[in-house]
Amino acid sequence: MTTLTDLTTSLAATSDRWDGPPFPFFLFPLMWLLAFVLVATLIWTGRHRRDRSAGRRAGEQRLAERLADGSIDVQEYRARLEVLRER
């Protein structure tokens, strides 16, 4: 059975040699970069969709208010609503 002194001596004898980082050392920064890009893309896409749909909802809400106060009739409301929902 090896003693602690023998183990320490063998470790000290081999510690001079360093072969560099292990093979997949470059994968970890790439993984973090990929994760960052994925999160940023998801945030950007979500905000873009929200902003686009918020404009449409605001237009539909204003159109509904005009129908409710009698500024436009039902036929004009449906025609304008169809135009809003084309895109």
pTM across the whole model: 0.45
85 with 56: CB under 8 angstroms?
yes
Q: In sequence order, what are the residues at sequence separation of 6 or more whose Cβ sits closer than 8 angstroms to the Cβ of residue 35?
A: none
pLDDT tens digits along 51-78: 777 777 888 899 999 999 999 999 999 9
Q: In sequence order, what are the residues at sequence separation of 6 or more whose Cβ sits closer than 8 angstroms to the Cβ of residue 85?
A: 56
Give me the torsion for CA of 75, 81, 85, 86, rounded to 10°: 50
Residue 57 CA to residue 78 CA, distance in Å, equals 15
pLDDT tens digits along 9-25: 666 555 566 676 777 77
